[in-house]
Structure 1
Amino acid sequence: MKRVRVFLLIIFPLYLKAQYKNSDLPLIPRPLEVTKQQGTFLLNNQVSINLISKDTDLKNVGAYLSEILRDDYGVKLSNSSNRAIRFELDPQIPNQEGYVLKINPQLVSIKSKSAAGAFLAVQTLRQLIPIGQKDKIEIPAISIKDEPRFAHRGVMLDVGRYYFPVSFIKKYIDVLAAYKINKFHMHLTEDGGWRMEIKKYPKLQEISAWRDSTVVGHVSDKPRKYDGKRHGGYYTQEELRDLVKYAQQRFITIIPEIDMPGHTLSVLAAYPEFSCFPDRKYQVLTAWGIQKDILCPKENTFRFVEDVLTEVMDVFPSKYIHIGGDEAWKDNWKVCPHCQNLIKTEGLKDEHGLQSYFIKRVEKFVSSKGRAIIGWDEILEGGLAPNATVMSWRGEKGGIEAAKMGHNVIMSPNHYMYLDYYQTPEMRKREPVAIGSYLPLETVYSYNPLPKSLSKEEQKHILGVQAHIWSEYIPNGNHAEHMTFPRVLAMAEVGWTQQEKKDYSDFIKRLKTASKFLDYKQINYARYFLDQY
């Protein structure tokens, strides 16, 4: 027994020494397995990149790493050297985004199943490089085995209410990629603006993309004030194709959203014939709130929707096309003769059934093009389209219902994932104006996207998690960064890291180091977390 105690006294401290504490390495999101090795790898101009596998995408990852090291750290890699960063594809790695990163004094080895995994390994590697060091950089010898918990780790930016320049979106995507976000959802259309060029319907650019004025402050403020300034803009199809390519190079898929049948007042301002009452005058929304005017399910409306989605799918190669479906008030449908007749002829129960009819027709068209739709959880009302994926925002109820029905789900409950909410209890006393509610960093971090009420089999339908930045009160990139960061880093760990490995106090310690990277990238992140621990 005494020998056992002696053995433990010798071996256990050595074991502890070999295992990194979470915060010893400032990695976000936290990897699956991390083991310390002996020594360091000297990263300088005498290091080369070695590609074992002949793969174009992998070659591009190597070029991306070379560019980062040159631009951010002043390291120009050699064409040949005894010390190398080696990339190799390994079919034995089970996850498409999984990787094994091993660092010793002579070699940085990155093995992955795909180029996507190699890119994600590079993001881990760059976090191991201390910010501010130049030319000669020591990286700790280490072994990391890693893979994501969920396949979908997304962020939505609402560009419909406020137009954000392409240059900002590229900067935004760069930082999302650094934290292993792999989906960027562009909310392209709103009552307050239409942001995508549609060649067949030029008035969407001429009229729908612009509003005459915008409410100042919160819409509930009395008296309500307006700035009297014309606001708007749209992305050309050429700009969007370039943005898609830019994101693809960072292994991020852009998912476009064209909202319907609600949130379409900007469409009706240009094309009133798609409304239930074409003789009315419509204008692009200048204040915020849900509107009663929505698309009317007439044949000319469906032709319009199909024409638009055809151009959208030509620009965006993503599997998923988001079609909205949320907050579609049925008031006009209730008094529209065409809608009431359609309910009768199609044998529908009510206006909720009519919305289901609308969504199912759109879903059938999108599926015929080899794509699939995502809709907000309102698309459950009246019956769900066969191949629809549900994005659950009004809590988890819709997502749970859809998963039990065998449909795929992306969890994005507003009380955990709406980053347009306030971040401190003081709210407007301390922060710029926001839509309302309170969502601190810790609450975002605490979220578990797998509801316990689902069986193991049903949980397989939970594709992942997504955070949302709605822009009613976010007029520019500087404000968007303040609302997004660092809360989106907490969401990144929710989507990547196994639930049992999460630790909020440790996350805050790592976040304080990560903030140096955000500083370097000139991100206007909210600094409230710096008061913690």
Structure 2
Amino acid sequence: MNTTDNLIPLPRHVTPLDGQVFTLQPTARIIAEGAARTAAGQLQLLLQRGTGFELPIATHSSSGDISLELVETLDGGPEAYGLTVTDDAIRLTAQAPAGFFNAVQTLRQLFPASVEQPLTPHGAPHATPDAGTWVIPGVVIHDAPRFQYRGLMLDVARSFFTVEEVKEQIDVMGQFKLNALHLHLTDDQAWRIEIQPPADNPSGLDYGNLTAVGGAVNHPGTGLGPGRTGFYTQEDFKDIQRYAAARNVLVVPEIDLPGHVNAALAAIPQLNPDGRPQPMNTTGDVGYSTLDAGLPVTYEFVREVLGQLASITTGPYLHIGGDEALVTGHDNYVTMVREFARIGAETGKTVVGWNEYAEVDLPDGAVVQYWHGGFDPVVEKAGAGSPVLMSPAATTYLDQKYDPGSPIGLSWVEGGPFTWAEYYDWDPVQGGLAEHQVLGVEGPLWTETVRGNRQAYWLQYPRAVSLAEVAWSSRPARDLDGFRRRLGTLGERLSRQGVPFQEAPGVQWSARPSDPFADTMGTNSDEYGTIEA
């Protein structure tokens, strides 16, 4: 049995142990202490649901057990891990919880796909103890990621995703060692994060209106269900981060400035030069809104919003947007973005922005996220010490239609088709960048046409799996035909999890996906009901 046939992303070193086979028995235990305990609990739950075995967590191992062992150092850093499978034991090693989480995901893929159960807790059955024979081939794996940042972006502004749906997104992406979730929280269509009334509010701004008005329903015109209202309280946002952190996923919040701000202009009249609120946007139009560089209240507002968001963000990054400010004017753009970046950096966070903001003097270490347009300013900023996050639209944008017949998705990017192959067969180190200058890769999903996770998954997968391997595995190790074979084995795993995916042609899928359009978004069902603000 070739142990790499169902491992995605491809590990750095895989050595099969010919003749060695491990069979998981009902008497097996999981051995873990300290930093390994969280991952051990996750492995226990996964295997309990799949096998029906009890698999208690203990501290001393014997034959037939699965042990998670903390080591002092491991080549490759905190996300690196080792995995050894022999006839009588499975041994996972790491120097940090992140490494143990990654090791568990690889071990998960070595088990038969029948170990998988639906990700949602709605009455998912647990297996009976005699549900199958759980055999794993002998292997030694030493693994670590190529890039530090391996992410997805979820646009919750155009179409709202509940806290539970965001958690489900984390569960799906985490199994492929994607470790960052960028939440696009604000745009012309909506404002999705609570900003509490500050004690010091010199201009008397009604921050509560940001969600009371800006959390209203967005444009409904997809034909696949109405838009959805809602927002995250600050406690919701903290809850999402706690859930993500336990699964080695970093949450990156974005407040898009100084364009894409119509929801803020509709909620807070003082942000408009005439003091009158703008009407809410019920279309997908962008590029027409801007904050005003000449209003002192602009900077008061941004300082309060970024300050509050930074105070509840556990990760190091704060995304301030900066894209498509088409009506702002160059001088005003430079004035505002320079100040917004400074305000963001003063919170103690590392500022991130779309590549347009590379035209501005930025704080030391600010991250440039490339998505479209000229690359020279990005390379210049990289040379000055700004890490680059690669999201070129033609090879990472998960909202693009697979082909003209796709029932959802956008089609503004030139080129295509936009299948798993195009998202796999490229390299993030390009255009004059050096390897050390690339922070990582992110696949954005814009949601003008998307309603709920089932539709989102259909656009994300399998293309997000391609991006996961691009970000994790070395360029020389990647092979399009080999990945095609491994991708096909993933079909049954995703199908059993209840994750719809696009049944891309040219791949021999081990199972067919469920229909992402079988349920109408925005109905009164528990899973897809409208969430009132």
Q: Which of the five TM-score ranges fits, normalised by the shorter chain?
A: 0.7 to 0.9
Indicate whether 1:402 and 2:381 are aligned: yes
Correspondence for 2:147 among 146, 150, 162: 150
Indicate whether 1:204 and 2:204 are aligned: no
Correspondence for 1:449 among 425, 428, 446: 428
Quick one: structure 1 residues 230 and 506, their matched pair in 2 at CA, closer, same or farther if it must change by over 3 Å?
Answer: closer
**Correspondence list, 1:91-490, <5 A:** 91-94=72-75, 95-132=77-114, 134=131, 136-200=133-197, 201-211=207-217, 213-216=219-222, 231-279=228-276, 281-297=277-293, 298-330=295-327, 333=328, 351-394=329-372, 397=375, 398-424=377-403, 427-428=404-405, 430-437=406-413, 438=416, 439-451=418-430, 453-454=432-433, 458-490=434-466
Per-residue CA shift, 1:75-113, capped at 9, x if unaligned? Answer: 221446432211122233122211111111111111112
Per-residue CA shift, 1:252-273, capped at 9, x if unaligned? Answer: 0000001111101000101121
Letter in 1 for 2:102: L
Indicate whether 1:502 and 2:482 are aligned: no
Per-residue CA shift, 1:209-250, capped at 9, x if unaligned? Answer: 1147533469xxxxxxxx9x6742111122211111110110
Structure with max Cα Rg: 1
Letter in 1 for 2:347: K
Letter in 2 for 1:101: L
| Aligned partners of 1:435 and 1:473 also within 8 Å | no
| Aligned partners of 1:99 and 1:121 also within 8 Å | yes
Per-residue CA shift, 1:352-393, capped at 9, x if unaligned? Answer: 243233222222222222211100001022444444210000
Per-residue CA shift, 1:182-205, capped at 9, x if unaligned? Answer: 000000101011111112211112
Quick one: structure 1 residues 143 and 396, their matched pair in 2 at CA, closer, same or farther if it must change by over 3 Å?
Answer: farther
Quick one: structure 1 residues 530 and 215, their matched pair in 2 at CA, closer, same or farther if it must change by over 3 Å?
Answer: same
Q: Structure 1 residue 35: deviation in Å? A: 0.8
SS in 1 for 2:432: coil
Structure 1: how far apart are the matches of 2:313 and 2:387?
21
Q: Structure 1 residue 396: deviation in Å? A: 7.1
| Aligned partners of 2:4 and 2:10 also within 8 Å | no
| Aligned partners of 1:395 and 1:414 also within 8 Å | no
SS in 1 for 2:171: helix
Structure 2: how far apart are the matches of 1:212 and 1:183?
26
Quick one: structure 1 residues 407 and 214, their matched pair in 2 at CA, closer, same or farther if it must change by over 3 Å?
Answer: same
Q: Structure 1 residue 532: deviation in Å? A: 6.1
Structure 1: how far apart are the matches of 2:507 and 2:93?
39
- Report how many residues are paired: 475
SS in 2 for 1:480: helix
Give the aligned partner of residue 200 of structure 2.
Answer: none
Structure 1: how far apart are the matches of 2:265 and 2:373?
31
Give the aligned partner of residue 26 of structure 2.
Answer: 45
Structure 2: how far apart are the matches of 1:433 and 1:357?
35
Q: Percent identity over the alignment?
A: 31
Q: Structure 1 residue 459: deviation in Å? A: 3.1
Give the aligned partner of residue 42 of structure 2.
Answer: 64
**Correspondence list, 1:51-90, <5 A:** 51=32, 54-55=33-34, 57-78=35-56, 79=58, 81-90=62-71
Q: Structure 1 residue 164: deviation in Å? A: 1.1
| Aligned partners of 2:485 and 2:507 also within 8 Å | no
Q: Structure 1 residue 178: deviation in Å? A: 0.2
Structure 2: segments with no counterpart, 5+ residues: 116-130, 198-206, 510-533
Per-residue CA shift, 1:417-461, capped at 9, x if unaligned? Answer: 11111113xx22x5435344431211100120011623xxx4312
- More deviation, 202-211/73-82: 73-82
| Aligned partners of 1:352 and 1:382 also within 8 Å | no
SS in 2 for 1:196: coil
Q: Structure 1 residue 329: deviation in Å? A: 2.0
Structure 2: how far apart are the matches of 1:494 and 1:395?
22
Give the aligned partner of residue 119 of structure 2.
Answer: none
| Aligned partners of 2:114 and 2:493 also within 8 Å | no
Structure 2: how far apart are the matches of 1:529 and 1:152?
30
Give the aligned partner of residue 4 of structure 1.
Answer: none
- More deviation, 412-421/162-171: 162-171
Correspondence for 1:27 among 7, 10, 16: 7
TM-score computed with the length of structure 2 as normaliser:
0.84
Structure 2: how far apart are the matches of 1:212 and 1:378?
26
Quick one: structure 1 residues 180 and 370, their matched pair in 2 at CA, closer, same or farther if it must change by over 3 Å?
Answer: same
Structure 1: how far apart are the matches of 2:437 and 2:263?
35
SS in 1 for 2:352: strand
Structure 2: how far apart are the matches of 1:132 and 1:96?
30
SS in 1 for 2:447: coil
Give the aligned partner of residue 344 of structure 1.
Answer: none
Would you tell me which structure has more helix in proportion to its own residues? 1
SS in 2 for 1:83: coil
